[in-house]
Amino acid sequence: MHIDRIRKTENIIKTTPEASLSSVLGVLSSSHDAAFIFDNGEFIGVINPYHSLIKTSYPPKTKVKKALMTPPKLEISEGIDRAIRLMIESKIHYLPVFENRRFIGIISARRILLNIYNDKKFSLPLSEHIKKARQLITIKESDPLSIAISLFKDYKTSKLIVIGARGTIVGVLSHYDVINYLSSPKERLSFASRKGDKSSILDKPVKNFAKKNVLTLRPENTFNEAIDLILSKQIGSVIIAGSDKRPLDILTTKDIFTRYLDRPITMPLSINMQHVSQQSMKIIKSFSQIFGNMLGNRKDVKEVEMTIREKKQGGVFETITAITQKGKKKQVIREEGKNLSKVLKDIKKRSKSLISKD
């Protein structure tokens, strides 16, 4: 199915490069949402909570033009499968759609869910998902918020299931809600003390911040029922619980998409950084997302291994990129220079040219 059939052209959240980050994040409700940035009618990027609050922490007063990111772009003729893949890789559930480089709308995860709802893969019970369950991360309602923040960071998860003294579900804590709360000192830190002491907030119990209205399903319920609940209640995930109300697993939109594609989503790119400064690391992380998306769209690319070495305290950057394509020998690209951004740009250009020739 082509994305043109489910493209959205109205009620798109838009803003300008000069708007403040806090004003834009105020109209977004989850870490996967996105606001689309236009400069004199031209699309230039998106603001996404995951990238601007969780992955990189920008101050609330930061202008949008400094915090925006360039998302993966879809052409009107492309299919749903590629849209799903890009949403999983970018962690953004709203992507721009183009026709001959002209912005013509967006595609959302919700519209995709509506159109894949009846796929035969989703007629099976949720117990099939539990069989493949990863470690379920929970937190006690009496634990301080500081423990929750550590769990979010250590396990790279976006939600924690909050349990009571008997191990039963009492709520859900979202990483986005916590970060968003802590990033608005004037309005919210007064909750901790008159002085706005952030450490006081971190000492408060998780139950003060968790959402109490938790929607659950049983293992015998189907994936179809889970999707219906996600769509009707406008949520991003559903908790699977036993008859004793103890949590068994969580089913996210990403899990549903992965099941639809019937294969795990992985980027073929791995980067080894040596003696790299914090500033250089930020540049590399931004590059890896864009470069990884480009490589992920090439079915013939099996693996790409990069080594980036910073020498002379940032005076010189040395890179080695090894590209392995299916049925072909490994090819190596070497780049060196004083400007890291330019070096990485040249690597991307040479890699694209090399892959296209083959």
Return averaged pLDDT per consecutive 10 residues of the chain, 358 residues in all: 88 95 87 92 92 78 90 92 91 93 95 91 91 77 92 82 94 83 49 49 91 92 95 91 93 93 68 79 81 77 87 84 87 93 93 77
* Residue whose token pair is 């099996």: 302
Question: Is the distance from CB of 238 to CB of 251 less than 8 angstroms?
Answer: yes
Distance CA 89, CA 84 (A): 9
Distance CA 345, CA 8 (A): 32
Distance CA 30, CA 40 (A): 28
Question: Is the distance from CB of 55 to CB of 92 less than 8 angstroms?
Answer: no
Encoded tokens for 246: 């103890």
Model confidence over 184-212: pLDDT tens digits? 544 443 333 334 455 578 899 999 999 98
Question: Is the distance from CB of 90 to CB of 289 less than 8 angstroms?
Answer: yes
Which residues are CB-contacts of 88 (< 8 A; sequence separation ≥ 6)? 254, 257, 258, 265
| CA angle, residues 239, 57, 62, in degrees to nearest 5 | 125
For 358, how many CA atoms within 13 A lie in the half-sphere containing its CB?
18
DSSP 8-state code for residue 136: P
What pLDDT is attached to residue 196? 47
What pLDDT is attached to residue 231? 93
Three-state SS at 129: helix
What pLDDT is attached to residue 186? 42
Domains of the chain: 3-107 (3.10.580.10), 120-261 (3.10.580.10), 269-357 (3.30.160.100)
* Residue whose token pair is 């989503």: 265
